[in-house]
Structure 1
Amino acid sequence: MSLLGQPIFRRRADAALRRPLEDSELRALAVLVFLHDIGKLAPGFQAKGWSEPHGVPLRGHLECGWLWTRTLDAKSLAGTAGHVARWPAIRTWLLALFAHHGRPVVEPESGLASPFYTLRHVAYDWKAEEQHMGEALLAWFPDLPTVRPPPASPRFVHFFCGLLTLADWIGSDRRAFPFEAAFRPDYWRTAQAQAERRVREIGLSPHGLALRGEPGWALISDHVAPRTAQAAIGTVPPGERLVLLEAETGAGKTEAALWRFATLLAAGEIEALYFAVPTRAAARQLQRRVNEALQRMFADPPEAVLAIPGQVRAGEAAGMRLPDFTMLWDDAQERPTRWAAEHSARFLAARVAVGTVDQRRSAGFR
């Protein structure tokens, strides 16, 4: 919900739906997102964290999510499951829901043994935990019986899949969302405040992204006047959706692209930039150039992320992964906006990233 509270993301949702997304539909989508890890209730998944698995077969939570849908009755999720089960195209939404790790998860065959059962020798009751989740749904979404998700068109479901994957990455970061073992009915207010703050901190809102001046040539370069190819880009109106510039090496295409970026940013059309080049070597060289240009363009310059798997670089700083999933940066700074640089799946969540064409294809657009 915090992501869809950002103007850019909300406009993209509207574009994917081909009409404005209604607030009641947004809440229905939030209910679905609430259920995306429901498979973790299964004893077979919980046993992964037990010191003694007690002979419980280990299971993956995505498969268990599908199998949970076969356990539903009138009392499931404190009586809320029946409302969700009656939503139009619910199977399509479940397909999207259980694909939140970025790949489709095929619904298991009917003969597969259920991972949901009562354990006599372990103090874990998955049904009681499901009851807590249902109570939370009722408390946090009191209008659940009346809301419905938007039509499950392929275009919008594709958008939802990407948004859910991004939200899952953000919400799984314990630096922003410290783990709480005990159920707390009012946690929703805490989570909303933390989500709003984290979305700002990691650069997924327009907050703090201010150009030093008007998006003209003087903002991009200290050369007196742009070259011919660059000047041509400067005349293209912000509403133009596709701009192709073909020019010889050394004609200043990078600066032309930055000028276009500044123009669209000032017009509120975009909030991020990705440079896609053919090779990793070219990306490394260009990342330094782009990072230097950002210092000139912005009052509080974002760091250009190097979008090359296996390398962790934001601006001029290099990072090293530590065993506890944290990062050690060689400039000893901890900047939340470097979150996007810490894993290849997040590269295109950066405000500015420089990488290869292949990386763009594998990660998708922000």
Structure 2
Amino acid sequence: ASYHLLVYHCLDVAAVGRVWWQASASLRRQFCHQSGLPDEQTQAWLLFFIALHDLGKFDIRFQLKARNVWQQVNPEADCFKPQENNNDYYHGPAGVYWLYQDWQDRFEGEQDDRDIFCDDDENESWQAWLSWLGPVAGHHGTLAGSSDKDDSRFGLSPGMVSVQGLELLKQARQAWLKALESLFLKPAGLTLEDDPPFMADGTLLAGFCSVSDWLGSASDEGDFEFQSQPTGDLQEWFESRLTIARRLLHRAGITGYQARDNPAIQNLLEEGYQPRQVQSLVDQLPLTESLTLIEASTGSGKTEAALAHAWQLIQQNFADSIVFALPTQATANAMLGRIEKAAPNIFEGSINAVLAHGRAGFQQDFIDLKQAANSHPAQGEKEARVQCAQWLAESKKRVFLGQVGICTVDQVLASVLPVRHKFVRGFGIGRSVLIIDEVHAYDAYMYGLLEEVLKQQRTAGGSAILLSATLP
């Protein structure tokens, strides 16, 4: 088929989200912590809004970007007047516009004082819906905001569509919300009359939706293939995509592993060595989301102590992975070798380690890890336990989505800078135990950014470990 029906694409992405949700107890804990709701209802709102991430595509301007397909599917649609150029229509923030316009009577009213970014004519209901829709609608790089709700760029002019056409588009959007209500909300005891819980920070949700969208988009490998004709019940379609989503997440290197039992520091030391100095204190650390500062002299075993505590947190479902940030490319390269030896002691299954800095592509150990992911040795997976899946290595935006990310500290600080898709980095860090080595070695500007990283980590319900030999 030459095109994919919009509702099927949205359900494909939701299927990835559903499988990922089920595979990660840590993510379930983090989302439930933010929502304040039990598992079932948090999952219902999560899948509902992920399936709404492309609400802005229910618009003639997006449909006409494939003009020949539109005319093929709608040969008698005479209430729309095609325009020559629709390239400046951005369907992400337009989804916020259309949700507000379609439900304007509900969303206008007395303002709640929780959100300083909301206008005077917005009420508590709109703030709650926007706290979910804004992050998922921003999946192309920049989070959608409240100002998009009345942006004149997204309105349809009489020269493009008749009154009848406007009503048809609105009916399509409302029908989609009703369909998603039946699919996801009602089984959890919710309806469209309910408001979702207010989400104070959208980083976790935006990153989760964006990665699910990348994986859930139709591919050339025959995974989520195009479907141009309706094929019956939407519930059946959604359920039929779960197996594909499971395979995609595993192949991408995001799932397919678990933490080993008995997370003891002894298991990270070479044979014959005993825990010493700070290493002997690891078991005294609390097993909860936390900020841990380890100061000890050079050579005292801070790295193994940090990895052991991270392992304990992962084993207790307080994180899914580890991000290890270092001050220089040379120290990051050296750490990759140490992690390659330690990771099989921490994780079972296929372990993906990603190196991230400006010259990572020239580092031979990392090149070998990428080649290991593409090889199929006769001895089986045990001969290539630590690797780097091709999908993870294709973009720096994905460096924190594997089981272990080793990077220079600037890669972590980029998660709070105004760059596109920064929330994907923030999401990857938030689902990990963040370890920052040589934390004394930075300047005032970097400390300002690091403080924002730690705030973001706390909001996500994540943990951080800071290491230093000498604290000023």
Bin for the TM-score computed over the shorter chain? 0.7 to 0.9
Residue in 2 that maps onto 1:112 = 153
Q: CA RMSD in A?
A: 4.0
Between 1:308-317 and 1:171-180, the stretch displaced more is 308-317
Separation in 1, partners of 2:42, 2:262: 39
Q: Tell me which amino acid in the other structure corresponds to 1:193.
A: T
Residue in 1 that maps onto 2:13 = none
Structure 1: unaligned runs, 5 residues or longer:
75-84, 120-124, 320-327
Residue in 2 that maps onto 1:33 = 50
Q: List aligned pairs for 1:341-356, cutoff 5 A.
A: 341-356=393-408
Q: Helix, strand or coil for the counterpart of 1:105?
A: coil
* Kept after mapping to 1: 8 A contact 2:265/2:279: no
Residue in 1 that maps onto 2:240 = 190
Q: List aligned pairs for 1:266-345, cutoff 5 A.
A: 266-300=315-349, 302-308=351-357, 311=360, 316-318=365-367, 329=371, 332-333=374-375, 337-345=389-397
- The yes-or-no answer on 1:65 pairing with 2:95 is yes
* Kept after mapping to 2: 8 A contact 1:291/1:315: no
* Count of aligned pairs: 341
Taking structure 1 as the reference length, the TM-score comes to 0.74
Residue in 2 that maps onto 1:323 = none
Separation in 2, partners of 1:286, 1:336: 15
Structure 2: unaligned runs, 5 residues or longer:
1-17, 70-81, 105-123, 163-167, 377-386, 416-424, 432-472
Between 1:129-138 and 1:252-261, the stretch displaced more is 129-138
Residue in 2 that maps onto 1:150 = 196
Residue in 2 that maps onto 1:23 = 40
Q: Tell me which amino acid in the other structure corresponds to 2:84.
A: G
* Kept after mapping to 1: 8 A contact 2:257/2:347: no
- The yes-or-no answer on 1:55 pairing with 2:62 is no
Residue in 2 that maps onto 1:78 = none
* Kept after mapping to 1: 8 A contact 2:57/2:63: yes
Q: Tell me which amino acid in the other structure corresponds to 2:394.
A: E
Between Structure 1 and Structure 2, the one with more helix by share is: 2
Between 1:102-111 and 1:5-14, the stretch displaced more is 102-111
- The yes-or-no answer on 1:12 pairing with 2:53 is no
Q: How big is each residue's C-alpha offset from its partner over 1:96-155, in whole Å with a ceiling of 9 and x where there is no partner? A: 332233423343455436358459xxxxx9679758846753663472645735321414
Sort the Cα spacing of 1:343 and 1:110 in 2 relative to 1 into closer, same or farther, 3 A. closer
Separation in 2, partners of 1:290, 1:190: 38
Separation in 2, partners of 1:228, 1:138: 56
- The yes-or-no answer on 1:231 pairing with 2:248 is no
Between 1:29-38 and 1:175-184, the stretch displaced more is 175-184
- The yes-or-no answer on 1:99 pairing with 2:141 is no
Separation in 2, partners of 1:251, 1:60: 54
* Kept after mapping to 1: 8 A contact 2:325/2:407: yes
Task: Return the offset for 1:188.
Answer: 1.0
Sort the Cα spacing of 1:7 and 1:345 in 2 relative to 1 into closer, same or farther, 3 A. same
Taking structure 2 as the reference length, the TM-score comes to 0.60
Q: How big is each residue's C-alpha offset from its partner over 1:267-288, in whole Å with a ceiling of 9 and x where there is no partner? A: 3433211101112332222112
Q: List aligned pairs for 1:64-83, cutoff 5 A.
A: 64-69=94-99, 72=102
Out of 180, 191, 208, which is 1:137 matched to?
180
Q: Helix, strand or coil for the counterpart of 2:320?
A: coil
* Kept after mapping to 2: 8 A contact 1:283/1:356: yes
